[in-house]
Amino acid sequence: MSPSPTLSATEVTSERLVLRKVHRADREDLIELMTDPEVQAYLGGPRPRSEVEQHFDTSIANSTPRPGNFVIADNTTNRLVGTLMLARRSADRPGHVNKDGEELELGYVLRRSAWGAGFAYEAAAVVLRAAADELPDQPVLIVTQTANERSLKLAARLGFRPVSTFEEFAAEQTLCTASLSKFRV
């Protein structure tokens, strides 16, 4: 069975943002993102700086970008404000709406300095519109810790609705879904 397609665009732009592949210049901002205790509070906690540095230096900067994985950057400064992915949720993980799994899953994380500016909404909306223009209609998932009220509010603002909860990573997760076609312009 061939894998289901994901968004093929390697760059997507909005009014204030460019979603693009990672650059070497993103190193310090990505390290900050992955090691910030507040940013990582609902993502398993901060990772040790040395581990993030090693991961960046050995794989991220030298790898071929995976479809649907983006750095969210300010389009005037090109400075990283966060990351976003639109990828297939592995069938072996909990949290699905299709019996076979592999639905599109949207995930995002922003630097603390970018919180509250509407960047996550803007980035998610532009990527979902691009995907809706390219891919057939299908469910899209957002999975977040139930305790992450900000993420749940963003999911609702984007038009996702909660459908279930389940346990993963030693915490209750909320599964939200929306139809990809709702993002067609």
pTM of the model: 0.92
How many Cα atoms are found within 13 Å in the side-chain-facing hemisphere of 97? 20
Q: Are 139 and 97 in contact (CB under 8 A)?
A: yes
With bands split at pLDDT 50, 70 and 90, how would you rate the model's confidence at 1?
Answer: very low
Q: Mind listing the pLDDT tens digit for each residue in 165-185? A: 999 989 999 999 999 999 998
Q: Mind listing the pLDDT tens digit for each residue in 7-24? A: 888 899 999 999 999 888
Residue from 45, 46, 17 nearest 32 by CA: 46
- Kindly state the tokens that stand for 20: 């693009």
Alpha helices in 38-148 (DSSP H): 49-55, 119-134
What does the alpha-carbon distance between residue 103 and residue 107 come to, in Å, rounded to a whole number? 13
What does the alpha-carbon distance between residue 112 and residue 82 come to, in Å, rounded to a whole number? 9
Residue with structure tokens 């389009």?
Answer: 75
